[in-house]
Amino acid sequence: MAGRTGEPGVTISERVPDIRRSFDDADILMAPMTIAGGSKFKILEAMASGVPVVTTKDGAEGLQVKNNTHIMLSDSVSGFLAALERLADDASFRSGSSGRHVNWFRRYMTGKR
């Protein structure tokens, strides 16, 4: 399945032995979660790594995040695509998102500022 998307620059990976290597190469984490609950480790790991996250309200449930500040949220396909396009097309916004993700993680998950 890895790499089979039909879209240049898009890779889908499964069974990743060390997620840190994937986050080093990633520009965006897309997490279209449709059920609240369960583990949000990949979202938290992406944020800690400075990878901007696009997810649903269910994906962010329980996390003290603000839409378009710490994370990008949408429950519609068109909104999800718009968030992905903004991050992909606007390097300055993507870079700012990255820094805000790391700062949020440090503040809320480690207690460091």
Integer Cα distance of 11 and 3 in angstroms: 4
Structure confidence by residue, pLDDT tens digits, 62-90: 888 889 888 999 999 999 999 999 998 99
Please give the pLDDT value at position 69. 86
The verdict on residue 31 lying in a domain is yes
The verdict on residue 112 lying in a domain is no
Integer Cα distance of 53 and 113 in angstroms: 21
Please give the pLDDT value at position 6. 62
Closest CA to 56 of 38, 82, 75, 37: 75
The verdict on residue 97 lying in a domain is yes
For residue 54, what is the domain's CATH number?
3.40.50.2000
Residues of the domain holding 39:
19-106
> pLDDT at residue 46 above 50?
yes
pTM above 0.85, yes or no: no
> pLDDT at residue 47 above 80?
yes
Q: Which of 5-14, 52-61, 84-93, 96-105 has the lowest mean pLDDT?
A: 5-14
The verdict on residue 89 lying in a domain is yes
Question: What average pLDDT does the segment 55-64 reach?
Answer: 90
Which residue do the tokens 């620059």 mark? 9
Which residue do the tokens 């990878």 mark? 51
Q: Compute the mean pLDDT over every residue in the chain, rounded to the nearest whole number.
A: 83
DSSP 53: E
Positive or negative, the Cα torsion across 68, 66, 49, 17? negative
DSSP 51: -
The more confidently predicted of residues 25 and 1 is 25
Which residue do the tokens 């800690």 mark? 48
